[in-house]
Chains A and B, each alone.
Chain A
Amino acid sequence: MALIEIRGLTKTFRGRGQGPVEALTGVDLSVDEGEIFGVIGLSGAGKSTLIRCINLLERPTSGSVVVGGRDLAGLSRKELLAFRRGMGMIFQSFNLLSSRTVRGNVAFPLEVAGAPRAEVEKKVGALLEMVGLSDKEGSYPAQLSGGQKQRVGIARALANAPKILLCDEATSALDPQNTGAILRLIERLKNQLGLTVVLITHEMKVITEICDRVAVMESGRIVETGRVIDVFAQPRHPSSRSFVEVERTSRDEYFRNSYKPRGRLVKFYYVGDVVAEPLVNALIRLYDVRVNILQANIDNINGTAFGTMLVDLSGDPGSVSQAMDFMRESKLRLEVLETSAEAGSEAGPGTTRDGADGGGDGVSSVRKQSNDNQGGPG
């Protein structure tokens, strides 16, 4: 059984004036021990409500939340307080006590748990060292940068040695550099302390950088769940696609609108080891086709390479479709974005029929893969 099991979770807020708001609708989710699980969604999708149901900062309207085999609904008030000590949480706005120093903030959960003073002293020192803030222990939050504040937040969240860390938009208030640093810190601490992390965000970058799995939320529902690499490489739901492709589709649009393909405008998607293989080279050598690479990109998604390449594939129609089959056999996913008038009007990844090709020597304003058209079909 997963460490966190959420079944049929619904949360309805009594609306303030404008009627009830259904923030969560039948959410099912399971988070395995030791993973970093990301939840992505637009503002108002219900991400915060979802994560806050995991430590009962928000009471579910219906459905169950089971953590480590315990159904939270059955906890008494006292048990809930003890349960929450086994779970840390960090926030977008840090939520540090302004009246306490860095040391005092990190000591807070330990004091609340009734730890003896000497132990508090010792643990706080170790925690501050862990997040790299030993030199700031006497500072007040107002004197810290955003990145430093979040480090204090992390140290505080981990003070009672929890097994689970909940991150509610923990990096949304930070600049890209600090975002990266905080994410790496979370990843390191996860490995070091054997944490399970649930994080929510509206940035795909955060998901691809450290998450193992991701759930995409839209209007209170989870519309897609899967390994990050899978969702990123082949998003199924329109909402996931928009997160994955904001940047990429805009580039595709550019080529679609302002570039006239000689043959077919094809997009290749490749994942993992395929990246290392000289496929384009093979393509040119084996088939009588011209390959004009318009754009190519490789992302590192939590350790796995994920690449996309936009090419204009032209030449003898038979050769072009053979070339496309070859790429498919090589475990690439293809998507035909556009077909030139001469190359036929059909489109779609499954196309094999082709019209005539205009030929020419493929000069492009972007980048050109020169080829010397040797060898016939294999």
Chain B
Amino acid sequence: MMLTANQLIMLKTSSLQSLYMVAFSTLLTTVLGVPLGVLVVVTRPGQILESKLAYRIAGFFINATRSIPFPIFIVFVIPLTRFLVGTAIGSTAVIVPLTLAAVVFMARLTETALLEVPFGLIEAAQAVGASRRQIVRHVMLPEAMPGLIMSVTITVITLISYSAMAGAVGGGGLGDFAIRYGYQRYQTDVMWVTVVMLLIVVQGVQLAGDHLVRRFSRR
């Protein structure tokens, strides 16, 4: 299986584009998705910041976003993307829909992880006079850490797969490369190389995630 010099350069560019898109959206997703997940949990009935309104609004926003298929979602958020990035085309622009879609995904995963923390631990913290902020920072998040790491792992892998659709708006990346050369121009070699590369990356991410989960598990 040999790629031409030209193809190798394209492969390199695509890889860097993918890395750029995935890295940035992962960062943004984590920074936004975890707090959103926390919000959904603490505003639940019976929880430390119970609020029906906040809980319902957050829940609706998450469900609404998740119900739109990603390719349609990219198009759907173009006005917002233009507003934030200045253009709707290119790798940077793709980060907007990628992040938005993944944030709500991450929020749900965070919610699940946080709900695993026994409420008794929160009560024990309340009993010693911990504030709500302290409970989130020093009880809920650390106790849910293995679950949160697993959530980030799943999110990264999802982002890698979503980013393959970035080609639709000129975002480039490995997925786009595979489709344009491997599929549309029948260069099967190119497709195989990218598929194997993606496979290795996804495996690597999963292994790294599992390793971290083990390191943080104390139960």
Contacts and interface: CB of A to CB of B under 8 A. Distances in A.
A98 B142 CA distance: 9
Interface in A5-50: none
A99 B128 contact: no
A113 B129 contact: yes
B71 interface: no
A159 B139 CA distance: 17
Given A98-B143, A99-B145, A88 B128 contact: yes
Interface string A41-84: 00000000000000101000000000000000000000011111
Given A97-B139, A100-B142, A111-B138, A91 B124 contact: yes
A85 interface: yes
Contacts of A157: 127-128
B128 A57 contact: no
A303 to B, nearest CB: 30
Given A97-B139, A97-B142, A100-B142, A156 B128 contact: yes
A99 B142 contact: yes
A157 B129 CA distance: 11
B219 interface: yes
Interface in A72-131: 80-85, 87-89, 91, 93, 95-100, 108-109, 111-113
A95 B128 contact: no
Nearest to B126: A57
Interface residues of B, number: 21
Contacts of A113: 128-129
Interface in B109-163: 118, 120-121, 123-131, 134, 138-139, 142-143, 145
Contacts of A166: 127
B219 to A, nearest CB: 5
B143 A112 contact: no
Contacts of B219: 98, 142
| Residue among B130, B134, B142, B219 having the largest count of chain A Cβ atoms under 10 Å | B130
A243 interface: no
Nearest to B119: A95
Contact of B143 (A81, A97, A156): A97
B70 interface: no
A141 B120 CA distance: 15
B143 A99 contact: yes
Q: Is the interface of B mostly helix, strand, loop or mixed?
A: helix
Contact of B216 (A80, A96, A99, A112): A99
Contacts of B124: 89, 91, 95-96, 156
A308 interface: no
B90 to A, nearest CB: 42
B218 A81 contact: no
Contacts of B129: 80-85, 109, 112-113, 160
Contacts of B123: 57, 91, 95
A38 B199 CA distance: 63
B76 to A, nearest CB: 39
Nearest to B146: A99
B163 to A, nearest CB: 33
B120 A140 contact: no
B125 A112 contact: yes
Contact of A95 (B121, B138, B142, B145): B121
A99 B121 CA distance: 11
B36 to A, nearest CB: 22
B131 A95 contact: no
A95 B118 contact: yes
B132 to A, nearest CB: 9
A180 B139 CA distance: 31
A36 B218 CA distance: 35
Nearest to B139: A97
B142 A87 contact: no
Nearest to A160: B128
A85 B139 contact: no
B119 to A, nearest CB: 9
Contacts of B145: 99
B120 A98 contact: no
The winner among A81, A99, A159 for most chain B CB atoms within 10 A is: A99
Interface string A336-369: 0000000000000000000000000000000000
Interface of A: 55, 57, 80-85, 87-89, 91, 93, 95-100, 108-109, 111-113, 140-142, 156-157, 159-160, 166
29 contacts: A55-B127, A57-B123, A85-B128, A87-B127, A89-B127, A89-B128, A91-B120, A91-B124, A95-B120, A96-B124, A97-B121, A98-B218, A99-B142, A99-B143, A100-B142, A108-B128, A108-B130, A109-B128, A109-B130, A112-B125, A112-B128, A112-B130, A112-B134, A141-B218, A156-B128, A157-B127, A159-B128, A160-B129, A166-B127
Interface of B: 118, 120-121, 123-131, 134, 138-139, 142-143, 145, 216, 218-219
Q: Which 7 A-B pairs have the closest CB atoms?
A: A109-B128, A95-B124, A84-B129, A89-B127, A85-B129, A95-B120, A81-B129
